[in-house]
Amino acid sequence: MFKIGEFVVYGHSGVCQVTSIDYPELAFHVGDKKLYYKLEPVCSTEVIYTPVDTKVQMRPVISSEQARQLLDRVREEIKAPADVRSNMQDEYDALLKNQKCTGLLRIIKNIQYKKKDSLQSGKKLTMTEQRILKQAEELLSSELSVVMDKDLEATKSIIDDVVTEWLARVYV
């Protein structure tokens, strides 16, 4: 069970802070004897109530050390993506649903690699690829900003710099 004040990654809402654990008194929960988390997403003003025993995927955020190691691995990586076929939407959707940082970073790297490749041949990313890239960037940057104690824009810039450096090494 998560504790009040902890940050978690919750479903498609991304990073949320657990602000209370209680039996809700809201009208749609009358007679409900379940404990609920009250979650506040870090990137929006909504409030989410979810049962403590929810079936929706919820996990703790990674540690600051894990975030540093994740970015360091990209800085040291010298291989281009093995596969950037035109239709990887199902794989990307699965990685987005899972919301693990390694998968989100993989999406970002693959699509940025494909974007660079497409620009070289006078093409653009599809709208779907642009949407998936934006979603992966937002999910990853929101989690890393919390664990690295940096604002969202600074974190986005760090991720962008790391991926740009990687692209410069691997794109031939």
Q: What's residue 84's pLDDT?
A: 66
Residues 66 and 55 both lie in one domain: no
Mean of the pLDDT values across residues 83-92? 77
DSSP letter at 21 equals E
Query: DSSP letter at 56?
Result: S
- pLDDT at res. 69: 97
Residues 130 and 85 in one domain: yes
- Same domain assignment for residues 88 and 100: yes
Would the pLDDT of 83 be above 90? no
Q: Are 42 and 123 in the same domain?
A: no
Burial level of 93, CB count in 10 A (0-12/13-18/19+)?
middle
* Owning domain of residue 165: 62-170
pTM: 0.87
Q: Please answer whether residues 7 and 146 qualify as being in contact, where contact means their C-beta atoms are separated by less than 8 angstroms.
A: yes
- 2 in a structural domain: no
pLDDT band at 62 (very low <50, low <70, confident <90, very high): very high
Sign, CA dihedral 57-63-65-67, equals positive
Strands 58-60 and 36-41: unpaired
**98 in the same domain as 82:** yes
Q: Is the pLDDT of residue 17 over 90?
A: yes
Read off the pLDDT of residues 22-46 as tens digits, 9 standing for 90 and up.
Answer: 987 765 656 667 899 999 999 889 9
What is the per-residue pLDDT for 79?
Answer: 77
For residue 111, is pLDDT > 80? yes
Average pLDDT on 134-153 reads 96
What's the chain's average pLDDT? Answer: 90
